[in-house]
Structure 1
Amino acid sequence: MLRLFLRFLIAVLALGPASTMAQPAQPATVRVDYTHSGNALQDQYALERVVIEPLPWPGSTARNLDDTNRGHNRVEVVDAKTGDLLYSRGFSTIFGEWRTTDEANKISRSFQESVRFPKPDRPVRVRILQRDERNQFSVAWSVEVDTDAQEVVKKQPALPVKPIPIHVSGPSPDKVDLLVMGDGYTAAEMNKFEADARRLTQHLFTVSPFRERARDFNVWALAVPTEESGISRPSEGTHRASPLGTRYDIFDSERYVLTLDNRALRDIAQHAPYEFIEILVNNETYGGGGIFGQFSTAAAGNAWANYLFVHEFGHHFAGLADEYYTSPVAYAAASTRMEPWEPNVTALRDPANIKWKRHVKAGTPLPTPWPKAQYEAASRAYQKKRADLRAAKRPESEMNALFHEDLKATNALFAGKPGRPLPHRHDVGAFEGANYEASGYFRPTMQCLMFDRSEAFCPVCQDGIADIIDLYAGPARQ
C-alpha cells in the first residue's frame, strides 16, 4: 500500500512546483445521485443525495460549457436566482438503452444515475434534459441544490487502496483524466491488474487520434480486490461478488458487460481524478460495453482485449455509434429514421449537407455503393457459427479463431479482385448499414473500428474523438 501511495505522490510531484503550488485552488467536486425509473412509455426522477467528493474538481473551470451536442441527455447547472448557465455536459444512460428493449414494454425498472460538476458558490438548479421527438433537448427534471446545506454528504470513508499513476502528463485541470478500474481481480492479482491497465493504455495511445493527443491525457488505475477471480456471467451459472457489480449478460446479451450499481462505481471512483472510466474485468470471455459519459468495459483477458478497450471507449468517450448491423442486439428497431446525434452515423435526409461533408470528395455518390449483399450473406453464416459455438459452450479459443476468420474474409471482400479494387474502398461517403439497422442509416466509410474488429478509426470518428479531447484539454471555451 505504501509503495503505491509513494508512486502516486512521486508522479504528482514530478509535475513540478507549478502544478502543486502555483495553480489556483480548484473548486470541490459535487455529485448528485438520483434514480431514474419508468418503462418504454414514461419515466421519472427522484433525488437520492448530494455528495461532496474527496478530491477537487479535475477539470478546467474555463471549459464548463459543452457545445458538442452529444448524448441523449444533458445536465445543466444554472444559478437558482438568475438562471445563468454555469455548467453543462452531454451524456447518455443505461436507462435510455434499457427502455428500447422488449422488457421495457412489459415492466418498469429503476436505475441509479449521477451527475458531477464543480462546486458553485451559490444555490443552483440542476436540470436533466432529454432529447424529444424532434431530437432537441428539453427539460425532463430539475432540482434545486444548495451544496452548503446540512444534509449534503461532506465526509466519506477512506478507500483501502490508492490510485496508481499510469500515464501522467500534467495537472488534471489541463488534461483529460481517464480512470482505468478493475473488477474481478483478487488481492493476489493486483500486479496483473496493473499490468493489464498499462498494456491496454499503451495500446490506446497507438490508435489515432489518441496517439497524437497522448500528452493531453492523464491515466490512473484503481481496483478494490475481490474474494474470487473474475466477474459474474449468469448465463453460464457463474456468480461472483465484486465491488463494482460488473457482469455479463446485460439485457440478455451474452457479450454485453456493464455494472448497474452506479452508487458502488461512483463511491470507489471518487478517490481518483477522473472524467472518464474504463472498467477492466478479469475474464477471458469476449465482452464489453460503453455508455457515453458514464463508463466503458472490456474483458482484459480476451485475445481481442485491445480492440474491446478502444471500441468501447469510443462509445463512452465520444458518443460514437456502433456502425455494425448484423450482430444480434437487445434493442428494438426504431420506427422512424430520425437524424442521429452520434457524429458517425446519418439518416442521410439531406445528402448535400451530410454532417461529415468536409471529408467527402467531389463526385462521391451518396449513398455510396459497396458490396452490401455479399457482406450480409457472409455475415449471416458467420453469426450462425458464432451462436453455435456459444450454444455448444466451446472453448474461447475457437471463438477467437472465428473472429479472425471473419475479419480476414471482410478484408478480402473489401479489397476487391486483383487489379480491380473497389472504387470507394478508402473514400468517405455514406455506406448503408449502421446503428444496428441494415437500411435507413449510413456510416462514413466502408470499414472502421466502430464497424468491425479492424484497427483504425475512420476520419469522421477521429474528428468526433478530437472534439471531446478539445472540450476537456483544448482552448478555453468561456
Structure 2
Amino acid sequence: MNRFAFHFLAAALALAAGAACAAQPATVRVDYAHSGNALQDGYALERVVIEPLPWPGSTARNIDATDRGQNRVEVVDAKTGDLLYSRGFSTIFGEWRTTEEANKISRSFQESVRFPKPDRPVRVRILKRDERNQFSVAWSVDVDTDAQEVVKKQPAAPATPIAIHTSGPSADKVDLLIMGDGYTAGDMKKFELDARRLTKHLFSVSPFRERATSFNVWALAVPTSESGISRPSTGVHRASPLGTRYDIFGSERYVLTLDNRALRDIAQHAPYEFIEILVNNETYGGGGIFGQFSTVAAGNEWANYLFVHEFGHHFAGLADEYYTSPVAYAAASTRMEPWEPNVTALRDPASVKWKRHVKTGTPLPTAWPKAEYEEASRAYQKKRAALRAANRPESEMNALFREDLRATQALFAGKPHRHAVGAFEGANYEASGYYRPAMQCLMFDRSEAFCPVCQDGITDIIDLYAGPARQ
C-alpha cells in the first residue's frame, strides 16, 4: 500500500469510528456453541472477546423494536434487570433443525452476539420464538468484562480493509463489510472491483438508492492459495479463510460458511454491523441469514440480483416469496403467522400486516395466474435439474434463467392487480396457506425491484441503525 492510500484509509477509518473514538465504547463479542436436533437444543459459552475496534453503532439506538428474527439477544443489567441492548437475529442452526438430517442426528454450530461494552456486569440472554411466536429466554450467561477471563489482545489484521463507500461516522451510519473468499493474492484487484461493482448496484435499488448516504461500505479479503471455494457435489474442495462452500444442507445453490469463529476473527478488523461475503465463483449460488451474513457468487451473470436478494434476507429478515424451487427445509406442520414483514398466513384479511399499502377495492386474497405459473415452473424446474445433473456449462443455466424470467413477465403482463399490493397466495416455500404482497418482487423471482412492503421492511432496519432519513 502506498503512503497516500494508507493515509486515505486511516482517515476513512477514523471517520467511521467517529474521530472521538474514546467516546465510543469497546465492542464485546460472546462466542458460544448452539447444539441439538429437531426436538431440542442447548447452548454453551466458548469465550468473551473484546474486539480491536470500538463499537460501530449509535448507543442512542441500542433497543430493537422491529420484532424481527427467530432469536433475540438481550443485554440486561445483572442487578436491576434493566434492558441495555437488544437485537433480533436468526441462525444457521435454526435453519438446519428444519431439515431431514436434524431428525436423525444432533449437530453443533458456532454463533456469536456483539454489543457495546457495558460499564457494569451484565446478563446476556438469548431468546427464541415459542409456540405462540413470542420470544422466551432459551439461555443466559453472566458477563463481567472487567472481572472474568476475557480475550482482550487480538492478532494483527490479516488483511487491510478497503474503503468502498464512506458517508460519515459509523455511529450515524449502517456499516456494511464486504468480505471475499476464494480470491488469491493475484485476485485482490478483482475482489475490489467486484465489491465496488456490487455496491454500486445495491445503491441503484430502492430503498437503498435513496438511503445511500446512510451507509459506509468496507471491503476485506484474506488471500487464498487457489481461486474459488468448495463445491463438494462436483468434487471440488478448496481451503479458504472463511470456509465458505456450496451445497449447504444438500442444496447445490446454497452458499454459507459454518466456521463462525474464522468469519468473526477476520471481520473484527473492520467496522461492521452487516456482512456480505463475495465468493470468487461463476456457478449460481448464494445465501442469507438475518443478522448473520449473506453470500453471493460474484462471478455469476446474476450476481447483481443474488447480492440484493440475499442481502434482503440478511439485512431486513425478508422471507423468500417463491415456492416452486426445491429447498432444504421441511414444510412446517402448522401455519403460524410469520415474523417476516413480507409474508402472511392471512388469518384476518381486514388487518393484513401491510394494509396501509392495500388500496380500497383490492380483494384479499388477490387473484393472479397461479395455475399457469405453476405449470410453467414445473417444466422450468425439470430443465434446471437436468442441466445441473449433466454438469452443463453455467452459460446454459444462465440462459434458462433469462428464459424463465421472460416467460413470467409475459404471463403477468396486463393481468388485473399486476402492480397492486394485495395478498397473493404462494410464498415462504409453500403453494398454499402463505401470501406475499405483490404479484412479482425481487424476493419472488429474478426481477429488479422490491415491492413497497419489502421496501418498508428494509427502511425500518436502516432507521434502526442510522436513524430516519433527514428531510
- Shared fold (TM-score, shorter chain, > 0.5): yes
Asked if 1:221 corresponds to 2:219, the answer is yes
Shift of 1:7: 3.2
Query: In structure 1, what is the equivalent of residue 445 of structure 2?
Result: 452
Distance in 1, Cα, partners of 2:324 & 2:147: 52
Query: In structure 1, what is the equivalent of residue 69 of structure 2?
Result: 71
Query: In structure 1, what is the equivalent of residue 44 of structure 2?
Result: 46
Asked if the contact 2:158–2:266 (Cα under 8 Å) also holds between the matched residues in 1, the reply is: no
Q: Of the candidates 29, 39, 44, which is equivalent to residue 31 of structure 1?
A: 29
Query: In structure 2, what is the equivalent of residue 257 of structure 1?
Result: 255
Asked if the contact 1:5–1:162 (Cα under 8 Å) also holds between the matched residues in 2, the reply is: no
Q: CA RMSD in A?
A: 1.3
Distance in 2, Cα, partners of 1:372 & 1:475: 38
Shift of 1:229: 0.3
SS in 2 for 1:87: strand
Shift of 1:93: 0.1
Shift of 1:466: 0.1
Asked if 1:432 corresponds to 2:430, the answer is no
Letter in 2 for 1:75: V
Q: Of the candidates 80, 91, 99, which is equivalent to residue 97 of structure 2?
A: 99
Distance in 2, Cα, partners of 1:240 & 1:19: 38
Alpha-carbon displacement from aligned partner over 1:207-240 (angstroms, at most 9, x marks no partner)? 0000000000000000000000000000000000
Distance in 2, Cα, partners of 1:19 & 1:171: 4
Distance in 1, Cα, partners of 2:218 & 2:135: 33
Distance in 1, Cα, partners of 2:9 & 2:300: 29
Letter in 2 for 1:443: R
Distance in 1, Cα, partners of 2:320 & 2:364: 20
TM-score (norm 1): 0.96
Query: In structure 1, what is the equivalent of residue 356 of structure 2?
Result: 358
Q: Of the candidates 438, 462, 465, which is equivalent to residue 472 of structure 1?
A: 465
Asked if the contact 2:76–2:82 (Cα under 8 Å) also holds between the matched residues in 1, the reply is: yes
SS in 2 for 1:429: strand
Letter in 1 for 2:67: N
SS in 1 for 2:238: coil
Distance in 2, Cα, partners of 1:170 & 1:20: 10
Alpha-carbon displacement from aligned partner over 1:311-334 (angstroms, at most 9, x marks no partner)? 000000000000000000010001
SS in 1 for 2:8: helix
Query: In structure 2, what is the equivalent of residue 303 of structure 1?
Result: 301
Structure 1 spans left out of the alignment, 5+ residues: 416-420
From the superposition, tell whether residues 141 and 239 of structure 1 become closer, same or farther in structure 2 (CA, over 3 Å): same
Please list, as runs of the form range in 1=range in 2, the aligned pairs for 1:365-380 lying within 5 A after superposition: 365-380=363-378
Letter in 2 for 1:57: W
Asked if the contact 1:414–1:422 (Cα under 8 Å) also holds between the matched residues in 2, the reply is: yes
Give aligned pairs, total. Answer: 468
Shift of 1:159: 1.5
Asked if 1:442 corresponds to 2:435, the answer is yes
Alpha-carbon displacement from aligned partner over 1:14-62 (angstroms, at most 9, x marks no partner)? x59x9424x7610000000000000000000000000000000000000
Shift of 1:148: 1.3
Asked if the contact 1:7–1:164 (Cα under 8 Å) also holds between the matched residues in 2, the reply is: no
Distance in 2, Cα, partners of 1:160 & 1:381: 48
Letter in 2 for 1:108: S
**Among the aligned pairs, what percent are the same residue?**
87
Q: Of the candidates 80, 85, 88, which is equivalent to residue 90 of structure 1?
A: 88
Distance in 2, Cα, partners of 1:223 & 1:244: 9
Asked if the contact 1:184–1:282 (Cα under 8 Å) also holds between the matched residues in 2, the reply is: yes
Query: In structure 2, what is the equivalent of residue 233 of structure 1?
Result: 231
Asked if the contact 1:286–1:304 (Cα under 8 Å) also holds between the matched residues in 2, the reply is: yes
SS in 2 for 1:290: strand
Distance in 2, Cα, partners of 1:207 & 1:183: 25
Structure 2 spans left out of the alignment, 5+ residues: none
Asked if 1:9 corresponds to 2:7, the answer is no
